[in-house]
Structure 1
Amino acid sequence: MEIRNLIAEDLDDVLDLRRRSFGPLPPGDNEKWRRAVLPALGEGRYLGAFDGSRLAGAARLRRFTQWWHGRPQPMAGVAGVTVNPEDRGRGVGSLIMRAVVERAASLGDAVSALYPATTPIYRSIGYEHAGGQYKVRLPAEALRQIRPSGQVKLRRMGPEDAGEVVSLLHRVHSATRASGPISWDEDTWSLWLENKDDFLYLAEDGFVVYRWRGDDMQVENLVAGSGETARALWSLVGSASSIARKVVAAVAPDDPVLWMLRERSSEEVRQARWMFRVLDVAAAVERRGYPAFVSCEAVVTVDDPLGGSGSWRLEVAGGSGAVTPVAESGVKLSVNGFSALYAGVPTATLRLSGLMSGDDRYDEALDAAFAARPYMLDYF
């Protein structure tokens, strides 16, 4: 089995592979999919596993920005991991995922995330449960009753606003010290903002993307940098309540809208869990944001079977982290465990689940430094 970069001539075979793994794309989406993946081909971010000349499996590395405690860094989003039915059980999935991890690191990404269809294969190469995409089901009438207390200017947006959307996400996620959310690159946002079935509105410090979903409304993205804008955007969605009874919305687990509702005795929330992997310990620590009040240090030893094992002294102060390789052994973590710690999973949980062992004197400091409630609004 050979792993190599996919090229444009392979895309018909990739579409057949996707059809056999996930079902066919909706009518008319093939051309849009080709436009979306072509940049990945040129960047070496779409890999195929070949048995001779036949495509047996594929995986794509999406180019994202991800925020951790308000600080952005490049992130490799793994998507479209597919193996032909006749090739399953031959280790093709593990083979291509190992190549994906190596390629992401070589491209300079220090962290990676994915939404798993199944967990064991990804855990075996270092990915661990980290956060979720939270979708809450709300009465449309309850959103309509959220009243803006001031004037917020909204306008329709389109592909030409992609740059402003990316800039806005940087401003808002930084100001709110968010952990986990992602942004597509500007070209991909431009492609998504072409969708004629979406309702797209932009404010000075926020935007919303929503659509009809049967008889209900679905909010794909709603990001706001102020309470006034959040109220204006949620009220806009709720204005469909004369027809739509429910709104299904992707939100943060502590999204302000949940505190704006007049009535909140119970709610229906569905989670799509995502997994996370640190690819480069030193770079990932130095690129992450931390609580400004935390000043601490710890020695961690990370075991990564795909390379990158070692011991480091981590120093956190003033909202930034620094890393120094050391010869001594400290807290012992598998790369799965360190990835989960990075994403805010408490040290007590990691120890009880067997992902962390050894010296416990740094546990409280590590919990304070890496505290997070990670989420994503986007599914990929």
Structure 2
Amino acid sequence: MQIRDLTPGDLDAVLDNRKRAFGPLPASSAATWRALVSPVLPEGRYLGAFDGGRLVATSRINHYEQWWHGRALPAGGIAGVTVAPEDRGRGVGGLLMRATIERCAELGHAVSALYPTTTPLYRGTGWEHAGARLRVTVPAEGLRALAPRDTAVAVRRAGPGDVAAIRALLGRLHAATRACGPVVEEERVLRLWLEDDDDFSYLADDGYLLYRWDGDGLDVDNLVAGSEATARALWSLVGSASSVAATVTATVEPDDPMLWLLRDRSTDTVKRTGWMFRIIDLPAAVAGRGYPAGVTLDAVVEVSDPQRPANSGSWRLSVAAGRGEAVRAGRSSGQGLRPGEDVTRLTIGGLSALFAGVQVSALRRAGLLTGGAPATDDLLACAFAAKPYMIDYF
């Protein structure tokens, strides 16, 4: 089995594999897919497994900034993972995912996330369930009624020329809200979405909206706002179509302000799509993440990562003043165990889940975290506390 970078000449075979894995694409969607993936080929972000020249499996690495407690980390968003039906069960998927992990490291990604179609493959290579993409359906009339009464908010249409401004706005808001989990697309990809005539985009000084029609209702792909007035202005803009659209389905944060602005939530429904997360470069991930300013942590953890041995071993985790550090724990580093100090042991999946905010008590009861002491558990839980979410689906 050979694993190599895909080339433009492989795309027909990739599209065929994709069709067999996920179903057929309409011609227009296939053209969009080609426009989306072609630029990543020379960047080494699309891998293929070949058996005697025949394409067997694929994996694509999207480049994102992923925000963790208000700080951005370089992240590899894994997508387009396919295995030909006749080759499933041969271990090809695991082989390809191990190569994908190494390629993520080579590309400088500290962490990685994906939306799984199956858990065993990804859990077996170090990803673990972490956060969710939340979709809520609410009456359009309820959103229309949110229009600000006393404050005028300037809202204008946005287009491809606003890509840099939108990315900067998203970064400011994610930093200010100490967001955990959301990603920001590359300029090229965001520009592609903004060029779609069926999508409607709006900008305010501290807000951004992207939505579209979906049958008889409306679909809000992304709406962020830095103030109550802007949130009211953008949500009521969507709701202004209530005479035609009865409902609006929106991708939201776990504690989205809209849910507290609505007068009545007796009929809203929420759909949860889980995603998995993996640490690729342990010291870079710990150093790049944000932490609660008032939390201090000093603990030794022992990590097992068979797929990426550079992460394995003992590490001293330190958190103070909103910053973190992971250094090798050992006599040579001067960071060895102190008298009476206990070691907390985690699989790489367990550490990844902890990093993403999964409760320590849940990890301990699931067998992903052992050893340590109750006091250390409490400090780890405080340092990595999060409600992880993503708006984008890939």
TM-score range, shorter chain: over 0.9
Aligned to 1:130: 130
**How far off its partner does 1:39 sit?**
2.1
Q: Does residue 286 of the first structure (1) align with residue 287 of the second (2)? A: yes
Residue type of the alignment partner of 2:81: V
Give 3-state SS (helix, strand or coil) of 1:101's partner.
Answer: helix
**2:211 aligned with 1:210, yes or no?**
yes
Report the more deviating stretch, 303-312 or 320-329. Answer: 320-329
Q: CA deviation at 1:267?
A: 2.4
Query: Does 2:378 correspond to 1:364?
Result: yes
| Deviates most, 293-302 or 368-377 | 293-302
Residue 26 (structure 1) shift: 2.3
Work out whether residues 76 and 112 of structure 2, in 8 Å CA contact, stay in contact via their aligned partners in 1: yes
Distance of 2:147 and 2:298 partners within structure 1: 47
Cα distance in 2 for residues equivalent to 1:27 and 1:133: 28
Specify the alignment match of 1:317 in structure 2. Answer: 320
Identity %: 57
User: Residue 12 of structure 1 aligns to a residue in which SS?
Assistant: helix
AA partner of residue 326 (structure 1): A
| Alignment-mate amino acid for residue 117 of structure 1 | T
Partner of 1:343: 356
When the two structures are aligned, how many residues end up with a matched partner?
A: 380
Q: Runs (4+) of structure 1 moved beyond 3 Å? A: none
CA distance in 1 between counterparts of 2:297 and 2:96 reads: 39
Amino acid at match of 1:353: A
Consecutive unaligned residues of structure 1, counting only runs of 5 or more, are none
Cα distance in structure 2, aligned partners of 1:373 and 1:75: 18
Equivalent runs, 1:233-248 vs 2, <5 Å: 233-248=234-249
Matches within 5 A, 1:215-230: 215-230=216-231
Deviation at 1:30, TM superposition (A): 2.0
Residue in structure 2 matched with residue 330 of structure 1 by the alignment = 343
Q: Given residue 363 of structure 1, which amino acid in structure 2 is its aligned partner?
A: D
C-alpha offsets along residues 127-173 of structure 1, whole Å, 9 cap, x if unaligned?
A: 00100000001000000010213111111111111111111111000
Select between 60-69 and 100-109 the one with higher mean Cα deviation. 100-109
Preserved contact between residue 163 and residue 191 of structure 2 (Cα < 8 Å): yes
Cα distance in 2 between the residues matched to 1:276 and 1:108: 16
The SS at the match of 2:78 is strand
Deviation per CA, 1:316-335, whole angstroms, max 9, x where unpaired? 11110012211347200000
Partner residue in 2 for 1:231 = 232
Q: Is the 8 A contact 2:59 2:79 kept in 1?
A: yes
Please state if 1:254 is matched with 2:255.
yes
Amino acid at match of 2:259: L
Distance in structure 2 (CA, Å) of the matches to 1:320 and 1:160: 35
Pairs within 5 Å for 1:265-284: 265-284=266-285
Which has the larger displacement, 319-328 or 57-66? 319-328
Amino acid at match of 1:44: G
1:1-380 superposed matches below 5 A: 1-148=1-148, 149-306=150-307, 307=309, 308-327=311-330, 328=337, 330-360=343-373, 361-380=375-394
Q: Secondary structure at the match of 2:142?
A: helix
Output the aligned Cα RMSD. Answer: 1.0
Q: CA deviation at 1:266?
A: 4.7
306-315 vs 176-185, which moves further: 306-315
Report which stretch shifted further, 86-95 or 249-258.
86-95
Give TM-score scaled by structure 2 length.
Answer: 0.95
* Counterpart Cα distance in 1 of 2:89 and 2:13: 20
- Structure 2: where are the runs of 5+ without partners? 331-336
Deviations 1:351-376 (A, max 9, x none): 00100001124111101100000001
Look up the equivalent residue of 1:135 and give its one-letter code.
R
Q: Distance in 1 between matches of 2:79 and 2:389?
A: 17
- Contact 2:138 2:267 survives alignment (8 Å): no
The structural deviation recorded for 1:265 is 3.0
3-state SS of the aligned residue for 2:211?
Answer: strand
Cα contact 2:302–2:315 (8 A) shared by 1: yes
**Separation of aligned partners in 2, 1:340 and 1:225:** 28
